[in-house]
C-alpha cells in the first residue's frame, strides 16, 4: 500500500484545521488571524486534540514559505515612492514608535531577567504594529476614509521598512553575539547598497521586460512570472548573505512600481492568503499551552506595556510632527497592538537559536490579546479625545494649535540645499550601482574570462568590458547637474559660489577615478602611477564621449519612464491631482470615494435631486464610470450602478454621508427569489385558442415574456420561426421562459 509523503499529509492537517476553526471565528466576528493561531495550537504537537503533523520540520518549511509570500505581498503594497511621499508625519511618528518601543521592550526583558539577546529581540517584536489587523479593523468599522487613517497607513509603511532593516540587524547581532560598532555599520552599509542596487537595476529591467511581453501576459503567465521573479530574488538575497524574506520584500517593492502592480496584487492574493494561513497555523503549532500558563504574569505585563507604550509613543510622535491632538490620539489608539512582524522576528530568533523557547509563545499570546482589543481601542479614541479637550488647560491647547499650524507652514528650500540634495541622491545611487557591478564582475565573471583566456589577454578583456558597463554610471556621477538651473543660478549669483561648485565637480571626478582604480588594481599587476594614468585616461574619455552621453541620457530616460509609469497611469485615472489633495489636507478636508451599489436608492437620480451638499455638507468632485471620468459633474448628472463617487469633506461630514449611504442601502428589502428561465415545450391541443393565430398575435413575447425558438410540425422542424408563423393543432412548440408562464401558454390562455 502506497504511503502519502509527510509533507502532504501535514499540509492537509494544517489546512483542514485552519478551515474549520476560522469558520467558527468568522461566525464569532473575530479576526481570522486569531483563528489560524488557535487552529495551530489545537493541531500542534503539544495539544493533540485532532490529528497533528507527523514531522516537526514540515512546520518550519511551511512557515518559511509562508513568510516569503507574506513579505512579497507586503512589498507589493509598499512601493519606495510611497515611502518618499508619506511625509514627515509618518516618518517622525514611526521613528518615535520604533525607538521608544525597542527601548521599552529591551528594558522590560532585562527587568524580567531574560538576558541581553532575548531582551533585544523582545524590543524588536514590540516595535511593530500589525498592518493586516489595522487594515481589517478600519474596513470593518468604515474608517478608511478618515483623515487619521492616512497618518496610520503612512506610519505602517515606514514601520514595514524598519522591520525589514531590523531583521537584518538582529541577524547580524545574533551571529556575533554582541554589538560591534564597525560590524553593525558595515552591515547597514551593505544592506543599503544591496537595496539601492536591486531597486535601480530592477526598475530599469523588470518593467521593460513586462512591457515587452505584455501581449503574452494573461492571468496564468503573469502569476507564474511574478512568483518566479520573487523566488529568484529570494535566491539572490540569500546568496548575498541576507534573509529570504528580504529578497521577497525587495521583489515585491520593485513590482509595486510597475503598471501591472494592481493586477499582480490581485493574482497573488489567493497565494498569499493560502501560505499566510499556513504560516499563522505554523505559529500556533509551535506554542506550548502549558508555557502560556507558566508565564501568565510576563504575558500580562508585556500586554499592558504594548498597549500603553504604543499609545503614548505614537501619539507623541504624531504630535511632534505637527498634527492636531485629535489625529495624534486616534493614531495612537489604532496602533496599540503587535502582529505579523512580531511572529516573523520571533521565528528568526528561534531559527538562529539565540532566543529562549518561552519567548515565542509569550509574544504570540501578547499579539493575540492586543489584536482582540484593537477594535475596542479604536472606538475608545473618541471619548479620550473629548476628555482631553475638556480637561486640558487652555494654555496647552493654544500651544498645540499654534505648533500644528506652524509645522504646516511651507518653507522654500535654498538653492544650495536643492543642488546638494540632488547631487547626494544621484552620486549615491550611481556609486552604489557601480560598486555592486564591479564586485559582482570581479567575483563571478572575471575569473571565468581569465580561465578561458589566461595571462594578460583575459585580464585586459575583462577590464575593458567592466569599464564599458559602468561608464554610463561614471558619466552621470561627474556630469549630472552641472548645467542645471540651480548650478547656473549659483554660478551667476556670486563669484564666491564658483569655488565650491568647481570643488564639487573635482570631488566627483576623483570619486570616479577611485571607482575605475578598483578593477584596474585587481586585474592589472602594474605600477601605481601607470594605474592612475589609465584611470585618468578612462575618465577623460568618458567625459568627452558624445556617444556615451547619448547612451547615458537614454538609459536615464528609460529608468525614469519605468519608475513613473504606474504613477502616470494612476494620475490619468485619478479623480483629482495629488497637489489638490494635499491642498485640501491643510484645511482639514480630504477626499473619499464611495461605490454605488446596483440596488442603491441613488441609482437613476440626479445630483440635484439627491442634494448631498445641503444634507451632508459634502461635494461630489468626480464621478468615475468605468474608464470615463466626470470632473465637477453638474446637477443634472444621473447616478448609475457601480459609479464611484469621489467626495470632499471633513471627517464628520464624510462619516455622516457614509452612514446615510449604508442606512439607505440596508433599508432596501431583500430581493424576492425569481423563477429561473428554462427551455420547455408544450403541445397545442384542439381546445387551445392559439390555433389560427400568428406568433405575433398570440402575445407570447409581450404578455407572457416568453420566446418561441422552434416548432415541430409533423416530420418537419421550424427553427427560429418568423413572427408571422401561424400555430396549428398538433404543433410541438419549443419555448424559453419561466415555468409558470409556460404553463399558461400550454393552456392557451394568453390570446384574448
pLDDT digits (tens, 9 = 90+) for 40-61: 888 777 766 666 666 767 777 7
pLDDT tens track for 690-721: 888 888 888 787 777 788 888 888 888 888 88
Banded pLDDT at 431 (limits 50, 70, 90): confident
Q: Cell numbers at residue 311, please?
A: 499609545
Mean local confidence (pLDDT), 345-360: 83
Percent over 90 (pLDDT), the chain: 7
In a domain, 583, yes or no: no
Q: Say if residue 662 is in the same domain as residue 687.
A: no
Residues 692, 645 share a domain? no
Please give the pLDDT value at position 583: 44
- The answer to whether 742 and 682 are in contact (CB under 8 A) is yes
Segment 648-657 mean pLDDT: 76
Inside any domain, residue 393 = no
Q: What is the pLDDT of residue 221?
A: 93
Among 534, 566, 598, which residue terminates a domain?
A: 566
Contact present, 613 and 650 (Cβ < 8 Å): no
Average pLDDT over residues 464-484: 87
Residue 639 shares a structural domain with residue 558: no
Give every CB contact of residue 406 below 8 A, 6+ residues apart in sequence.
322
Mean per-residue pLDDT for 154-160? 80
Residue 407 belongs to some domain of the structure: no
610 and 696 assigned to the same domain = no
Residue 411 — very low, low, confident or very high, per pLDDT cuts 50/70/90? very low
Which has more confidence, 570 or 91? 91
* The dihedral sign for the CA sequence 524, 530, 534, 539: positive
- Whether residues 642 and 682 fall in one domain: no
Average pLDDT value for residue range 536-545: 86
444 located within any domain: yes
Instruction: Record the cell numbers describing residue 353, joined without a space.
Output: 537559536
Tell me the average pLDDT across 404-427. Answer: 66
Band (pLDDT 50/70/90 cuts) for residue 2 is low
The pLDDT score that the predictor gives to residue 229 is: 93
**pLDDT of 49:** 62
Is residue 658 domain-shared with residue 682, that is, in the same domain?
A: no
Listed residues 533, 566, 599: the one ending a domain:
566
pLDDT digits (tens, 9 = 90+) for 488-526: 888 888 777 888 888 888 889 888 998 898 898 888 887
Q: What pLDDT was estimated at residue 306?
A: 93
Cα–Cα nearest to 276, from 467, 545, 451, 66: 66
The CATH number of residue 660's host domain is 3.30.70.1450
The confidence score (pLDDT) of residue 587 equals 45
Confidence of residue 232 (pLDDT cuts 50, 70, 90): very high
The reply to whether 103 falls in a domain is yes
Instruction: Report the pLDDT value the prediction gives residue 9, as an integer from 0 to 100.
Output: 80
Say whether both 277 and 367 belong to one domain: yes
Work out the number of other CB atoms within 10 angstroms of the CB of residue 372. Answer: 14
- Does residue 397 form part of some domain? no
Q: Is the pLDDT of residue 158 over 60?
A: yes
Query: Are both 100 and 158 inside the same structural domain?
Result: yes
Domain that holds residue 651: 589-666
The reported pLDDT for the residue numbered 664 is 53
Residue 391 belongs to some domain of the structure? no
Residue 139 confidence class, pLDDT cut points 50, 70, 90: low
Residues 81 and 184 grouped into a single domain: yes
Three-state DSSP class for residue 684: coil
Residue 284's pLDDT band, with cuts at 50, 70 and 90, is confident
Give the residue from 666, 693, 719 where a domain finishes: 666
Number of domains in the chain: 4
Local structure of 157: helix, strand or coil: helix
Residues 660 and 681 in one domain: no
Mean predicted confidence (pLDDT) in 240-252: 83
> Does residue 51 belong to any structural domain of this protein?
yes
Cβ atoms within 10 Å, residue 24: 12
Residue 69 has pLDDT above 80, yes or no: yes
> How many residues are there in the chain?
752
CA 566 to chain centre: 14
pLDDT in tens, 587-613: 456 667 777 777 777 888 888 888 887
Say how far apart CA 304 and CA 291 lie, in whole Å: 19
Pick the residue with more confidence: 70 or 229?
229
Q: Taking residues 370-385, what's their average pLDDT? A: 86
Same domain, 287 and 436: no
Starting at the earlier edge strand, list the strands of the sheet with 590-595. Answer: 590-595, 644-649, 619-625, 628-631
Percent of the chain at pLDDT exceeding 70: 84
User: If you average pLDDT over every residue of the chain, what do you get?
Assistant: 79
State whether 703 and 739 are in the same domain.
yes
Please give the grid coordinates belonging to residue 547.
556617444
DSSP for 647-681, please give it.
EEE-HHHHHHHHHHHHHHHHTSPPPPP-PPEEEEE
Neighbours of 220 (CB within 10 A): 9
Amino acid at each position: 500500500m502506497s504511503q502519502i509523503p509527510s509533507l502532504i499529509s501535514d499540509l492537509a492537517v494544517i489546512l483542514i484545521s485552519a478551515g474549520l476553526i476560522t469558520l467558527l471565528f468568522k461566525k464569532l466576528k473575530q479576526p481570522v488571524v486569531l483563528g489560524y493561531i488557535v487552529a495551530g495550537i489545537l493541531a500542534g504537537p503539544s495539544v493533540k486534540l485532532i490529528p497533528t503533523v507527523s514531522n516537526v520540520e514540515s512546520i518550519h518549511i511551511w512557515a518559511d514559505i509562508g513568510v516569503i509570500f507574506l513579505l512579497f505581498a507586503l512589498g507589493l503594497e509598499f512601493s519606495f515612492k510611497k515611502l518618499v511621499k508619506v511625509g514627515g508625519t509618518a516618518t517622525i511618528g514611526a521613528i518615535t514608535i520604533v525607538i521608544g518601543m525597542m527601548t521599552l521592550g529591551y528594558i522590560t526583558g532585562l527587568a524580567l531577567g531574560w538576558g541581553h539577546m532575548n531582551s533585544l529581540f523582545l524590543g524588536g517584536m514590540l516595535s511593530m504594529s500589525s498592518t493586516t489587523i489595522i487594515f481589517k479593523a478600519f474596513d470593518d468599522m468604515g474608517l478608511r476614509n478618515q483623515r487619521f487613517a492616512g497618518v496610520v497607513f503612512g506610519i505602517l509603511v515606514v514601520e514595514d521598512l524598519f522591520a525589514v532593516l531590523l531583521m537584518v540587524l538582529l541577524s547580524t547581532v545574533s551571529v556575533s553575539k554582541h554589538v560591534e560598532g564597525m560590524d553593525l555599520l558595515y552591515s547597514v552599509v551593505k544592506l543599503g547598497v544591496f537595496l539601492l542596487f536591486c531597486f535601480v537595476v530592477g526598475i530599469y529591467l523588470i518593467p521593460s521586460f513586462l512591457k515587452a511581453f505584455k501581449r503574452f501576459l494573461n492571468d496564468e503567465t503573469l502569476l507564474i512570472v511574478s512568483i518566479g521573479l520573487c523566488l529568484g530574488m529570494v535566491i539572490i538575497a540569500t546568496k548575498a548573505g541576507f534573509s529570504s524574506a528580504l529578497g521577497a520584500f525587495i521583489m515585491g517593492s520593485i513590482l509595486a512600481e510597475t503598471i501591472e502592480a494592481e493586477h499582480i496584487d490581485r493574482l497573488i492574493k489567493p497565494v498569499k492568503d493560502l501560505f499566510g494561513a499556513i504560516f499563522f497555523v505554523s505559529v500556533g503549532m509551535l506554542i506550548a499551552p502549558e508555557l502560556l500558563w507558566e508565564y501568565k504574569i510576563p504575558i500580562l505585563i508585556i500586554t499592558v506595556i504594548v498597549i500603553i507604550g504604543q499609545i503614548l509613543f505614537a501619539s507623541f510622535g504624531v504630535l511632534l510632527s505637527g498634527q492636531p491632538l485629535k489625529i495624534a490620539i486616534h493614531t495612537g489608539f489604532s496602533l496599540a497592538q503587535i502582529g505579523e512582524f512580531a511572529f516573523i522576528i520571533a521565528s528568526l530568533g528561534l531559527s538562529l537559536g539565540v532566543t529562549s523557547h518561552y519567548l515565542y509563545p509569550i509574544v504570540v499570546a501578547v499579539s493575540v490579546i492586543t489584536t482582540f482589543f484593537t477594535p475596542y481601542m479604536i472606538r475608545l479614541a473618541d471619548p479620550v479625545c473629548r476628555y482631553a479637550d475638556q480637561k486640558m488647560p487652555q494654555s496647552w491647547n493654544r500651544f498645540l494649535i499654534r505648533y500644528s499650524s506652524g509645522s504646516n507652514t511651507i518653507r522654500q528650500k535654498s538653492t544650495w540645499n536643492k543642488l546638494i540634495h540632488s547631487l547626494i541622491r544621484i552620486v549615491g545611487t550611481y556609486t552604489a550601482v557601480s560598486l555592486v557591478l564591479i564586485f559582482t564582475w570581479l567575483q563571478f565573471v572575471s575569473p571565468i574570462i581569465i580561465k578561458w583566456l589566461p595571462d594578460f589577454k583575459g585580464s585586459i578583456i575583462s577590464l575593458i568590458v567592466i569599464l564599458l558597463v559602468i561608464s554610463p554610471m561614471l558619466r552621470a556621477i561627474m556630469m549630472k547637474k552641472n548645467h542645471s538651473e540651480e548650478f547656473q543660478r549659483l554660478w551667476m549669483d556670486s563669484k564666491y559660489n564658483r569655488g565650491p561648485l568647481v570643488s564639487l565637480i573635482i570631488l566627483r571626478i576623483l570619486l570616479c577615478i577611485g571607482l575605475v582604480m578598483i578593477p584596474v588594481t585587481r586585474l592589472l599587476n602594474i605600477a601605481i602611477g601607470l594605474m592612475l594614468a589609465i584611470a585618468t585616461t578612462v575618465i577623460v574619455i568618458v567625459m568627452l564621449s558624445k556617444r556615451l552621453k547619448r547612451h547615458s541620457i537614454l538609459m536615464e530616460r528609460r529608468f525614469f519612464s519605468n519608475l513613473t509609469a504606474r504613477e502616470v497611469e494612476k494620475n490619468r485615472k485619478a479623480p483629482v491631482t495629488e497637489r489638490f489633495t494635499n491642498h485640501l489636507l491643510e484645511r482639514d478636508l480630504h477626499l473619499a470615494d464611495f461605490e454605488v451599489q446596483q440596488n442603491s436608492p441613488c441609482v437613476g437620480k440626479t445630483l440635484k435631486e439627491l442634494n448631498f451638499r445641503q444634507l451632508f455638507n459634502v461635494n461630489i468632485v468626480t464621478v468615475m464610470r468605468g474608464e470615463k471620468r466626470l470632473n465637477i459633474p453638474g446637477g443634472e448628472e444621473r447616478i448609475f450602478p457601480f459609479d464611484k463617487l469621489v467626495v470632499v469633506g471633513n471627517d464628520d461630514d464624510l462619516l455622516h454621508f457614509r452612514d446615510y449611504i449604508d442606512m439607505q442601502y440596508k433599508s432596501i428589502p431583500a430581493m424576492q427569489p425569481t423563477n429561473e428561465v428554462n427551455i420547455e415545450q408544450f403541445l397545442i391541443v384542439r381546445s387551445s385558442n392559439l390555433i389560427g393565430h400568428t406568433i405575433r398575435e398570440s402575445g407570447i413575447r409581450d404578455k407572457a415574456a416568453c420566446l418561441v425558438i422552434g416548432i415541430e410540425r409533423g416530420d418537419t422542424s421550424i427553427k427560429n420561426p418568423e413572427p408571422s408563423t401561424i400555430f396549428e393543432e398538433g404543433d410541438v412548440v419549443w419555448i424559453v421562459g419561466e415555468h409558470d408562464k409556460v404553463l399558461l401558454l400550454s393552456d392557451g390562455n394568453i390570446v384574448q
